[in-house]
Structure 1
């Protein structure tokens, strides 16, 4: 059951282990629309009536019988018009069993309450107005307990049930007939039964026209629109569960900080301590080769002077990432190259720095090339001064329009990484929500209590917003204040975009949780989507590098345009007037709406 007026109550051992007895009864009191005063009064009565421990006791610490009594108390809390109980006295001592039956009989007599009970304790059913005896899914007899016993000349209901079972077995052994005929023979009291009483029909029967249900549009709208009372109750439930697990909550708050710190510290920076062999055939300390090597960044490049053979043996053995070689006449030949208009090939070759690199690691190779280029430019400016243009490339890089010339790859990765961390941590918050509650019977109990799928979705969304809000605040504090990432644009737009990505992650997690029944499959789905999305969303590498058939898939993902929008806001200072910015917001909102609707529909279809 999902939507519409719910005046029935089905009880099963479906409780929140992180709740106390008081939390449990208060939660169901809120859902049923009881005031705090009414809930407290009913709670005090039920705790005393069901002989429960202190109301501050955690459900997970209770025994099986105590849990069953708490579950029964939740069912009895609101005095429903129809109460359906599945073996409510199992695991209960005889004294309490008698009290429960006495209470049920009393509320039926004094209130407008009907009670349907299933039990395998046949004799306790004698207190019911009507009893139905079933075997293998077939109704053997139905009527007042005294009438059933009288028809079978039995002193107890158990004796009457035994006779019915024996009659059924005898008929089955004597006649090789259909199961329908055997059942008809087994119902020995059928001829004396009041035909006005309903009984289970076996086999095809006469088709009866069922009147179509119709309701006024106002009634329909009332049941379709979410009740904020239920949403608030579910939100409080989720927040209380978080409060009962402080270790898990702290880990959820710290995990994004740890992840973004690892990204800023370990991704995109220049390699340090890269060993490079230096083969310098010049012996003079005032040579150009020594001067050039002095301008090389020693924090990144560690120079190891070696002979020609030792250097090549080392790079072949993987000991060095490159070799820098100078000829014995490097200084004189380089001078001729810079001052003379026409020189021989021998002078050109002898006045050149020869470099051999290990290109198996492209990032290190690119870094070494850049460091050598920077060192040579500094060397030329030092030696030639105002004439340095003679030895410079005829390409001049002006001041960048956006960013700086020393921008590292970390700045490219960080905005997309922040969105990815927020999105997938939000997925993790909700991917197992419905899976676990469905498995423990908690979700069904909420449906029966009158909660709709839309209310459940909204409650999970709003309650998890608290967690992702704290995560986002800590993420921004670290990337802006600790790691000094620039933000040239509106901080409000940055926060809104990250929050929307978090909400989209929550919505996607709810889709997984609504569609999948077991934890392993839900986890596999969430993890399986993470890596492809990270690769093709332009988070760690530009989208322009993706081949075209796959690029269209990339552009349709929730984080591709959003990552680009966040970079434009932070590094270019752009606002919503730019298409690259508002497009990121629009795509995020579109995916968020789609995921929420999809999760609601799936949940609705499965209830």
Structure 2
């Protein structure tokens, strides 16, 4: 026997109805076996179990005398054509054939011979045509050709002739009959067309997960006293309807003992060896991914354009000091203080006590820093703020310059009138806290500079008007901007999320896997012998190239264009960014293996990106987070320690031997290993 199925039982839920109920089936070598039954009777599930896509809950499947113990074990022994088209539309017909030829470890010359034969036999369009440009019937013919490309000893075809021209259908049946007779090919066909099954050597009728009858068509007609197979099948189904309902799972398990199927001596045949060339399978995955990405503009957009947009947007919007903010100015009779009189062409006086006026203070600001709005009264300035015309205002007291001179002369002996008269009243719209804080810091800095200029002109040491605090930087610079703190974290978060998402269908490896599963591509690859390990190794190679390319884009823009500080070794920076990108890739794989829907996969990754952006210390120190939540962020988010380590490399110059950097590397590697382990567990669960 080519195939023996003994007492197999299959259910999809622990307490659900049986999909396959104690089913037995025998297919001889060189036999065309027709599997007939209505939709939902279990035909596709049975075929999936035979080719290795699903595990049976009980029973045995023996292929060419060898007990099938694991999924995907048929590989090159079987040509599998599923109900779905299950072909990657971005590839050409030739590339599809070459991909499966590589998986089946075929020689290039043999692949070319089979391409020429199948193209002629199935009347395929030009082999350089894109699959997505074909009609539905043409796609089914290509799908059938893929199942036959390696000339397997067993063909398992699920609804192969649906939607095909009657003449082509006739031609296909003639060819199947020929190879079964002359080359001893075993063929199992699932079909809805009852009249087609008359061409089969043996017919099996399925209903409710059981095989009602298994015999040659002539015997079935004779036993049912019918003139047509349609009439005979109708009678058999009616008889089954009158029988008792299917036994429940618990009763079935307790009342039966499953026997190991044994082959009779006259059925014995030498077992055929399964051949899986791991190198060729991985190479096939790499080549397919390469074709996929070079042809689809969305990949280029995701890999190159999106990183550029993100970096330019971030650097343009976040960090730079706002320019042209409208600030009111109340001089209270100190003269015309509009910018027309305080132009950049007027030099500051170097004479003692002659550089204490309002214009001397305003001259310290760049022309585009503020747009000064001269106002006559306190009420007008308040009205402008309330109307949204200005963000705040500065009010100088009457005779401000004179009071400043007296305060410099009298110093600690100044009276209250002098002190109050030399003050500058600043009132702001504090609802815009970030902008208000920036303006406060700028005004304080300029005021200190204003005072220093005044005392230096009088030969007074400017240290006397400075705060008695002297700040120095151990790492970084005292005058560094807030954006220098954010940039390393942003780079790691962007790389991690882009690798998790943008191999997908805008496009990330994670979402691509989900897309392949929803379109049947994953199952077809799996039946051909492509395991999860092949996918991981092949995708790791292509994603490494993409990750290094994105790292180059990030470093070129951040460092080359926007001047991001890199104090540590550039080799360490690139190495860490690469490891982080691969942890993002593995993270995307993990999510994709657990969720089947594309939308769910994208939403989960995006929600994860939002959480990590706020909680990983990218833009705000994790020390400000409450202790309990901080521990969750540190140990449950993959990027928290990575962001801290990368920032330490960039801003502190720490090497790979520093504990903080080591912790970042370990975190990334642990997430890679953990994600891959979860991938294998999820993959195992999906094929049960």
Q: What interval of TM-score do these two structures reach, taking the shorter chain for normalisation?
A: 0.7 to 0.9
Partner SS state of residue 141, structure 2 = helix
**Higher alpha-carbon deviation: 327-336 or 466-475:** 327-336
In 2, Cα distance between equivalents of 1:203 and 1:180: 13
Give the Cα–Cα distance (whole angstroms) in 2 for the partners of residues 33 and 68 of structure 1: 24
Q: Distance in 2 between matches of 1:350 and 1:449?
A: 88
In the alignment, which residue of structure 1 is the partner of 2:545?
466
CA drift of 1:354 comes to 2.0
Query: TM-score w.r.t. structure 1 length?
Result: 0.88
CA distance 1:412–1:167, shift in 2 (3 Å) = closer
Residue by residue, what CA displacement relative to the aligned partner does 1:284-306 show, whole Å, maximum 9, x if unpaired?
68653332222234422222221
1:442 aligns with 2:521: yes
Query: Could you say if the C-alpha distance between residues 377 and 207 of structure 1 is closer, same or farther in structure 2, counting changes exceeding 3 Å?
Result: same
Q: What SS does the corresponding residue of 2:281 show, helix, strand or coil?
A: helix
Per-residue displacement from partner, 1:418-462 (whole Å, max 9, x unpaired)?
111111111111231222111111111111111212222222222
Of 10-19 and 379-388, more deviation after overlay is shown by 379-388
Q: Which of residues 641, 650, 658 is equivalent to 1:578?
A: 658
CA distance in 2, matches of 1:289, 1:19: 72
Q: Secondary structure at the match of 1:475?
A: helix
Give structure 2 stretches of 5+ with no counterpart: 1-51, 53-70, 263-272, 337-353, 502-507
User: Conserved in 1, the CA contact under 8 Å of 2:104 and 2:277?
Assistant: no
**In the alignment, what sits opposite 1:144?**
216
Q: Structure 2: how far apart are the matches of 1:28 and 1:108?
A: 23
Q: What SS does structure 2 have at the residue aligned with 1:116?
A: strand
**Cα gap change, 1:327/1:117 in structure 2, threshold over 3 Å: closer, same or farther?**
same
Q: Superposed, which structure 2 residues align to 1:327-338 within 5 Å?
A: 327-338=397-408
* TM-score between both structures, scaled by the size of structure 2: 0.78
CA contact 1:129–1:145 (8 Å) conserved in 2: yes
- Per-residue CA deviation, residues 207-264 of structure 1 (Å, 9 max, x unaligned), is 234489xxxxxxxxx9999922211111211111112213542443111011011111
- Of Structure 1 and Structure 2, the greater helix share is in 1
1:131 and 2:203 aligned = yes
Give the one of 370, 376, 385 matched to 2:447. 376
Please give the alpha-carbon distance, in whole angstroms, between the structure 1 residues aligned to 2:214 and 2:206: 9
Shift of residue 500, structure 1, vs aligned partner: 1.6
1:178 aligns with 2:244: yes
* 1:355 aligned residue: 426
**Does structure 2 retain, via aligned residues, the 8 Å contact 1:65–1:92?**
yes
Distance change >3 Å, CA 347–CA 88, structure 1 → 2: same
Deviation at 1:98, TM superposition (A): 2.7
1:86-101 to structure 2, matched below 5 A, reads: 86-101=158-173
Shift of residue 10, structure 1, vs aligned partner: 2.8
| Cα distance in 2, alignment partners of residues 278 and 132 from structure 1 | 94
Deviation at 1:337, TM superposition (A): 2.7
Q: Aligned partners of 1:406, 1:129: CA distance in 2, in Å?
A: 86
Q: Mean Cα displacement is larger for which, 54-63 or 135-144?
A: 135-144
The equivalent of 1:560 in structure 2 is: 640
Q: State how far apart, in whole Å, the 2-side matches of 1:80 and 1:223 are.
A: 11
Report the CA distance between 1:31 and its aligned residue: 0.8
Query: Cα distance, 1:382 vs. partner?
Result: 2.0
Distance across 1 between alignment mates of 2:312 and 2:528: 45
Q: What do the CA deviations read for 1:86-108 (whole angstroms, capped 9, x no partner)? A: 12122223332232222222322
Aligned twin of 2:395: 325
Partner of 1:601: 681
Give the drift of 1:159.
Answer: 4.2
Q: 2:300 aligns with which of 211, 224, 249?
A: 249
Spell out, residue by residue over 1:11-66, the C-alpha distance to the aligned partner (whole angstroms, 9 max, x if none). 12211111111111111111111111111111111111111111111111112111
Q: 1:331–1:79: structure 2 CA closer, same or farther, 3 Å change rule?
A: same
Aligned equivalents of 2:585, 2:604: Cα separation in 1: 14
1:407 is matched with 480
Looking at structure 1, the residues matched to 275 and 196 of structure 2 have their Cα atoms a distance apart, in angstroms, of 41
Residue 207 of structure 1: which of 227, 241, 257 is its match? 257
2:151 is aligned, of 72, 79, 88, to 79
Residues of 1 paired with 2:657 and 2:233: CA distance? 79
1:365 pairs, out of 436, 439, 444, with: 436
Give the paired residue count: 572
Identify if the C-alpha distance between structure 1 residues 74 and 545 changes in structure 2 by more than 3 Å, giving closer, same or farther.
same
Aligned partner of 1:54 in structure 2 is 126
2:535 and 2:415 map into 1 onto residues whose CA distance is 82
Residues 225 and 364 (structure 1), Cα distance of their counterparts in 2 relative to 1, 3 Å cut? farther
